[in-house]
Copies of this chain bind each other. A is one copy, B any other.
Amino acid sequence: MHEGDSCWAFGVSGSIAVVGATGLVGREALSILAERGVPAGCVHAIASERRAGEGVTYGGESLTIESLGEVSFEGVGVAIFCATCEVARAHAPRAIEAGAFVVDNSSAFRLKPGVPLVVPEINADALKARPRLAANPNCSTIILLASLEPLRRCFGIAGIDLATYQAISGAGLAALEELNAQTRSLAAGEPITPAYFGEPCAGNVFSHDSEVEILTGVNGEERKIIEETRKIWCDRSLRISPTCVRVPVERAHTQAITVELGRTAGEAEVRACLARAPGLCVVDDRRGNGFPTPAKATGRDEILVGRIRPDPGTPVDDSGRAKRWCLLVSADQLRKGAALNAIQIAEILMNPARERALCVGEAS
């Protein structure tokens, strides 16, 4: 590997390995690294043995896929794992032993004590000690918490009600191919036979496909949101009530959020607080009925936030201040919800002098 190369825009030794480079998140990570100007020679695209030798797009160039089983991770500065829990458990320790920092996108280490679970806009300080392993939260958790963090800092947060409208690509490439095939069947008036999901995914919505806890009725996605939020915000008492649903959208998750603040706030304050937050973009045109949608959020780094309004079911005082607020949020779950957040973590790990991750529109 390319020992000693200066691969990052802000100057760091070691190359960058993307493990799971053929998956949706891995491909997105490569695309973000290329956009950020990391030279192709500094990047290793790594996947399973059966894909080794194939080419994968990197900006205008192509990288040859290396087999995970044969990669030594020597000379790798940071390895971004975009693969399953099993792959992470089997190979992340090897990468660390070889001297790399590891940022893992799977849920394998997220709740492990001592492993920082990071959304840079929230808890970049958890990376100050330069841990060899950092975990990237679940996509829905990242989008929810990055949207609410500015409100938490200004007003505190006592509770969250959440309903998600989650894109099919969140379940991976095979799921996305099923959506596309079913969309073609739907357009042709042909019957749909579910395969990847237990339910039709085109022309339908369905409760999230993660396993449901028999005792509580909570599904895996909802449990991740609950537990990861408590860890990231260090708040065991926070009330979170999520319902996770898949919708026939290729890419970008949408969330209907009702948040109970720690104190009352006026609309101007709430809007100003969201508008100045890094990584958020307020899209809120009441007159034109223009609000965040997955179509608008796809391919963007920012989280789109809109329909900012006091909960109509909550008391509003004489000066228009309320404790409960509603938002509608859309964000590209493959970018800020996964690959981008992981790369932001990697950037901070590799350059601890940076106080926080680069945000959209900021020069490095």
Which residues in A have some Cβ–Cβ distance to B below 8 Å? 159-161, 163, 165, 180, 183-184, 186-188, 198-200, 203-207, 209, 211-214, 216-219, 222, 226, 238-243, 245, 247-250, 254, 256, 258, 286-291, 293-295, 306-314, 324, 326, 328
What are the residues of chain B within 8 A of A242 when measuring CB–CB?
312
CB-defined contacts of A239 to chain B, threshold 8 Å: 313-314
A-B contact pairs, 26 of them (CB 8 A): A203-B248, A203-B250, A204-B293, A204-B294, A205-B247, A205-B293, A206-B291, A207-B289, A207-B293, A209-B289, A212-B289, A216-B309, A216-B312, A218-B309, A218-B312, A238-B313, A239-B313, A240-B313, A241-B313, A241-B314, A242-B312, A243-B256, A243-B258, A245-B256, A247-B247, A248-B248
Q: How far is the CB of A324 from chain B (nearest CB, A)?
A: 7
Interchain CB contact under 8 A, B245 and A326: no
Please measure, in the bound complex, the distance between the C-alpha atom of A294 and the C-alpha atom of B248, giving whole angstroms.
Answer: 12
The secondary structure that dominates the A interface is mixed
Which single residue of chain B is at the shortest CB-CB distance from A179? B203
Interface centre among A209, A240, A248, A310 (most CB of B within 10 A): A248
A294 cross-chain contacts in B, Cβ below 8 A: 204-205
Q: In the bound complex, what is the Cα–Cα distance between A239 and B323 (angstroms)?
A: 14
Closest residue on chain B to residue A312 by CB atoms: B218
Whether the Cβ atoms of A286 and B204 lie closer than 8 Å is no
3 closest Cβ contacts across the A-B interface?
Answer: A217-B309, A163-B163, A187-B187
Please determine whether B324 and A241 come into contact, CB atoms closer than 8 angstroms.
Answer: yes
Contacts A243-B328, A247-B248, A289-B212 given; indicate if A307 touches B217 (C-beta within 8 A). yes
Instruction: Among B249, B288, B306, point to the contact of A198 (Cβ < 8 A).
Output: B288
Check B312–A207 contact: CB distance below 8 A: no
CA distance A218 to B199 in the complex (A): 33
Given A203-B250, A289-B209, A312-B222 in contact, is the A258-B161 Cβ separation under 8 Å? yes
Chain copies in complex: 2
Chain B residues near A250: list those with CB within 8 A: 203
* Residues on the B chain within 8 Å of A243, using CB: 163, 256, 258, 307, 326, 328
Given A217-B308, A245-B256, 16 other A-B contacts at CB below 8 A?
Answer: A159-B313, A161-B258, A163-B163, A186-B187, A187-B187, A187-B188, A205-B293, A206-B291, A206-B293, A214-B287, A218-B309, A241-B311, A242-B312, A243-B258, A243-B307, A247-B247
Say whether B245 contacts A258, CB under 8 Å: no
When distances are taken between beta carbons in the complex, the residues of chain B under 8 Å from A256 are 163, 243, 245
Contact B245 A165 (CB under 8 A): yes
> A159-B313, A286-B217 in contact; A291/B207 too (CB < 8 A)?
yes
Partner of A312, one of B204, B226, B291: B226
- Chain B's closest residue to A206 (CB) is B293
What residues of B have a CB within 8 angstroms of the CB of A254 in the complex? 205, 245
From A187, A205, A216, name the one whose CB has the most chain B CB atoms within 10 angstroms: A205
Which partner residue on chain B sits nearest A267 by CB separation? B217
In the complex, chain B residues whose CB is within 8 Å of the CB of A324: 241
Task: Say whether A204 contacts B295, CB under 8 Å.
Answer: yes
Q: Known contacts A163-B163, A183-B187, A293-B204; decide if A258 and B286 are in contact (CB<8 Å).
A: no
> Are A241 and B217 interface neighbours, CB within 8 A?
no
Nearest to A204 among chain B residues (CB) is B295
Instruction: Find chain B residues with CB under 8 A from A222 CB.
Output: 312
Tell me the bound Cα distance from A180 to B204 in angstroms: 14
Q: Are A312 and B241 in contact (CB under 8 A)?
A: yes
